[in-house]
């Protein structure tokens, strides 16, 4: 029923609702902060951030919606909000409603022997789960490494390379461009929507940091193995 378009991620942009078989732009005069919180909740993007009045994302085309959403903020779906009659104020693309959500889900790498390598796990609704390897590639791994401040990606292993995880498989068909700041900015099937098993959990190997605070030092051999050596060789090309 609702989507955010022309923003920097799926969790920000101009508000459009599906009216019949058309996507229509919603005007800011018909859309309050309570409705913005409902949108972020429905899209599983956290909570809404304040947006300056009159904020817009450039010239747009297409139909506009002339109704009003009278949410009270406890709705889980925007379609559940009461509707109001059209306002006297004209609705144009110049005053379209814009929403930006907090978005980012917490990410960690598990069972890789170090902080910057391992099985990808994300925290959603307070519970840690895994990511399916369907369509998993280096662009996805790059975003994970960036989010964890682990340098650049040197590997995106599939098929449960770091062992099967447990709990829910939260993300499937993840499709990052590589420029996103967090993994939850990337498109995916929807939280918990998947057809995978834990033997298909996705992994990431990041370059990490060898030079610390401008000073070169050595690495202890304790725990060092071929996986670590592989990452180092990839980093050094």
For 70-104, write each residue's pLDDT tens digit.
888 678 888 888 887 766 666 766 778 888 887 67
List the domain range (segments joined by +) for residue 18.
2-101
Say yes or no: 111 and 210 in one domain.
Answer: yes
Please say which residue of 64, 79, 101 terminates a domain: 101
Same structural domain, 20 and 93? yes
Q: 64, 81, 101: which is the final residue of a domain?
A: 101
116 and 202 both lie in a single domain: yes
Same domain, 111 and 86: no
Residues 127 and 94 in one domain: no
Give the least confident one: 18-22, 102-106, 110-114: 102-106
Cβ–Cβ under 8 Å, residues 156 and 230:
no
Question: Considering 101, 117, 136, which residue would you say is the last residue of a domain?
Answer: 101
| Residue 128 shares a structural domain with residue 229 | yes
Q: Are residues 19 and 115 in the same domain?
A: no
Whether 135 and 185 map to the same domain: the answer is: yes
pLDDT at 132: 95
Residues 97 and 111 reside in one and the same domain: no
DSSP class of residue 180 equals: -
Residue 112 and residue 161: Cα distance in Å, rounded? 9
Is 153 found in the same domain as 37?
no
In CATH, what number is assigned to the domain containing residue 83?
A: 3.10.250.10
* Mean pLDDT, residues 207-215 taken together: 62
Strand 64-65 relative to strand 22-26, pairing:
parallel
Q: Residues 6-14: what's their mean pLDDT?
A: 81
* pLDDT score, position 184: 84
For 34, left (φ over 0), alpha (ψ -120 to 50), or beta? alpha
Confidence of residue 60 (pLDDT cuts 50, 70, 90): low
**What is the number of domains present in the chain?**
2
Instruction: Output the pLDDT for position 53.
Output: 53
Same domain? For 230 and 134 the reply is: yes
Claim to verify: residue 12 and residue 97 sit in the same structural domain: yes
Q: Answer yes or no: is pLDDT of 32 > 90.
A: no
- As a whole number, mean pLDDT of residues 104-113 equals 88
Count of helix runs (H) and strand runs (E) in the chain: 3, 14
Nearest to 92 by CA among 60, 120, 124, 67: 60
Instruction: State residue 122's pLDDT score.
Output: 94
Decide if pLDDT at 12 tops 80.
yes
* pTM, rounded to two decimals: 0.53
């Amino acid at each position: 029923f609702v989507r955010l378009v022309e923003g920097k991620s799926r969790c920000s942009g101009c508000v459009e609702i599906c009216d019949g078989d058309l996507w229509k732009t919603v005007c800011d005069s018909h859309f309050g902060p309570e409705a913005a919180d409902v949108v972020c909740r429905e899209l599983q993007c956290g909570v809404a951030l304040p947006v300056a009045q009159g904020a817009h994302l450039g010239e747009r085309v297409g139909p506009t919606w002339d109704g009003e959403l009278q949410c009270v903020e406890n709705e889980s779906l925007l379609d559940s909000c009461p509707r109001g009659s059209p306002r006297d104020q004209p609705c144009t693309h110049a005053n379209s409603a814009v929403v930006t959500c907090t978005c980012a889900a917490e990410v960690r790498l598990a069972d890789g022997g170090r902080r910057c390598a391992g099985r990808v796990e994300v925290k959603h609704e307070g519970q840690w789960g895994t990511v399916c390897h369907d369509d998993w590639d280096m662009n996805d791994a790059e975003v994970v490494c960036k989010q964890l401040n682990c340098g650049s990606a040197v590997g995106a292993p599939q098929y449960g390379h770091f062992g099967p995880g447990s709990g829910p498989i939260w993300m499937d068909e993840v499709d990052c461009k590589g420029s996103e700041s967090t993994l939850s900015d990337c498109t995916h099937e929807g939280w918990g929507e998947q057809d995978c098993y834990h033997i298909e959990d996705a992994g990431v190997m990041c370059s990490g940091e060898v030079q610390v605070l401008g000073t070169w030092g050595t690495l202890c051999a304790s725990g060092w193995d071929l996986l670590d050596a592989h990452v180092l060789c990839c980093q050094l090309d």
